[in-house]
Amino acid sequence: MAEIKIEKKTIIWPWVLLGLIIVALAAYFLFFKDNNSNVAPLTNEDDSTAIHNHADHAEDAVGDYVMFIEKDTANMSLSHEYSHDALTKLANATEETANNNNVDISENLSKVKALADKITQNEQSTTHADDIKESARIIGSALTSIQQAKFPDLSAEVSKVMTDANDIDVKDLTLDQKGTVKGFFKSAKDVIKKMNNY
């Protein structure tokens, strides 16, 4: 009789599965993992205390604004949600800063919140930069009042906030000057942090 050779098929599905797992892990690390490469290692107790204090502030308006700006994961888009959220959080943080330092600010921070709401109502409006600039000036004026009453050494920093507010060009669309608008939010964040020992 003739001998029939039976050849075993090589099973490839484990290799396909392994390949998919590797691709999934690579995608996770490329797209979803936070980039913590810029974080310095803790060197002493003061650093760990600062991190603990940073976590404590997460529940208050100042911490909320600082974390929002430092995280900066949102993109400015036609819906203007980023600017709305940043202005609302900044108005709340400014009000809290005034209250924490017993400074009566006469600036109308509720108008900032109303302007922040307005910029999200009509995506096609060409007046968003006007509203953001007006809000920025109100915030800058409030921070100037707090600075003059309690923080004379922060004059240059508060002056930068006002300069950044004035740099917002009402003739340009907000999305054409993202860097300028975000620059204002960042300089305001720096002042708010210093005023609250954050």
Which residue did the predictor score with more confidence, 84 or 73? 84
Q: Is the pLDDT of residue 34 over 70?
A: no
In contact, 198 and 52? CB cutoff 8 Å: no
Burial 35-73 (b: 16+ CB within 10 A, else e): eeeeeeeeeeeeeeeeeeeeeebeebbbbbbbebbeeee
State the CB neighbour count (10 A cutoff) for residue 183. Answer: 18
Residues 185 and 69: beta-carbon distance below 8 Å: yes
* Contact criterion met (CB below 8 Å) for 89 and 70: no
Q: Return mean pLDDT, the chain.
A: 81
Q: What's the residue count for the chain? A: 198
In terms of average pLDDT, the best of 9-13, 31-35, 36-40, 66-70 is 66-70
Kindly tell me if the per-residue pLDDT of 16 is higher than 90: no
